[in-house]
A = this chain, B = another copy of it.
Amino acid sequence: MKLVTRDTDYAVRALCCMAEKKEGVVSVGELVKELKIPRPFLRKILQTLGRAGIVNSYKGSGGGFKLARPADKIRITDLITIFQGRVELNDCLFKKAICPNRAVCPLKKRIDNIGKHVESELSLITIGSLLK
């Protein structure tokens, strides 16, 4: 029962590091040194973040990545959505009634409500709010 996967995790760490640097671009190499995350994996993650518009990228010598917006405008839910798909606990189960003779599945409703709560709590967590 995993709320965040490893790529989301690494993305959070990398973004925190980048946010702390305040300005200038940060290369994958620098991040690898600080975070001890496997380099090719981190590269892939940053490329994904780039495509998603979370970071801007700069090619060429001296290039790297930079947050595309303020750290407190980047929510954990944004990252979960990018790496794990839509934030919801339900995920296709319980689409039919629990027993065929029951019109609406009560369990689904209750799990949905719990999921809504989780989602709203998570969306309050931003990279900025993790920087202490």
Show the binding face of A for B, using Cβ within 8 Å.
1-6, 9, 12-13, 16-17, 20, 34-36, 76, 80, 84-85, 87-91, 93-94, 98-100, 102, 106-107, 110-111, 113-115, 117-118, 121-122, 125, 130, 132
Contact = CB atoms under 8 A, between A and B. Distances in A.
A102 B20 CA distance: 12
Contact of A118 (B20, B100, B106, B118): B118
Given A1-B84, A88-B1, A93-B4, A13 B125 contact: no
Chain copies in the assembly?
Answer: 2
Given A1-B3, A1-B87, A3-B114, 8 more contacts: A1-B89, A2-B91, A4-B93, A5-B93, A12-B98, A35-B100, A36-B100, A114-B121
A100 B130 contact: no
* Chain A binding surface, main DSSP class: helix
A39 to B, nearest CB: 16
Q: Which 10 A-B pairs have the closest CB atoms?
A: A3-B89, A2-B91, A13-B98, A114-B121, A9-B93, A106-B130, A107-B130, A110-B125, A16-B98, A114-B118
A85 B1 CA distance: 8
B107 A125 contact: yes
A100 B91 CA distance: 34
Contacts of A110: 121, 125
